Amino acid sequence: MTKQFAIAAFTIGAIVLGANNVQAQNTTATTTVKITLNDVISIDAGSTAIGNTVDFNYATAADYNSDQTVTKANSLKVTSTKNFNVKVKAGGANFLNGTNTIPVNVLTIKAAAAAGTMGGTKTAVVLSATDQTLVTNAPLGSALTLNLDYTIPAAKSSSADILGKPAGTYTQTVTYTATAL
């Protein structure tokens, strides 16, 4: 029994003494994180100007004798890493219906009263086939929205620009270009 007592005491002593001599092992790892930035400017998906239509309907005398405005929310949604301008132009000089034409300058495009989140200086543009600046020096940002009003004023719809034209649907494309500064 003395032998068992000695073994037990030795074991307990080894555990106690060994516990004091146990040292935690520390290891470290270091990694490098890189962030690579590229300049980006994009008219994003979700812009209603992408593949959408703006419809004006002249069915009554009152339609021809009053301003008509179509507001399009989120017409443009732009992401840019730098300040930018937005330009607009028509795909040609006229709205077309076969050989029948209406000049594109009957249409004015401007920021809506609730313009959206896009900053910068906004200018009303009478549409033409050449680039015109709609927004100047818009601050950089992500998914910045611009709500647009498309207006045909009564002065145009009650003039020879539209009156006397054959009935039908006249169409033309409108192109928006966002350019980083």
Closest CA to 140 of 74, 85, 87: 85
pLDDT at residue 96, rounded to an integer: 97
Residue in this structure with the two tokens 């020879």, named with its chain if needed = 160
pLDDT at residue 26, rounded to an integer: 84
Sequential pLDDT tens for the chain (181 residues)? 555 555 555 555 555 555 555 567 888 999 999 999 999 999 999 999 999 999 999 999 999 999 999 999 999 999 999 999 999 999 999 999 999 999 999 999 999 999 999 999 999 999 999 999 999 999 999 999 999 999 999 999 999 999 999 999 999 999 999 999 9
SS3 per-residue string spanning the chain: CHHHHHHHHHHHHHHHHHHHHCCCCCCCCCCCCCCCCCCCEEECCCCCCCCCCCCCCCCCHHHHCCCEEEEEEEEEEEEECCCEEEEEEECCCEEEECCEEEEHHHCEEEECCCCCCCCCEECCEECCCCCEEEEEEECCEEEEEEEEEEEECHHHHCCCCCCCCCCCCCECCEEEEEEEC
pLDDT at residue 181, rounded to an integer: 95
pLDDT at residue 23, rounded to an integer: 64
pLDDT at residue 151, rounded to an integer: 98
| 41-180 carries CATH number 3.40.50 | no
pLDDT at residue 85, rounded to an integer: 98
pLDDT at residue 171, rounded to an integer: 97
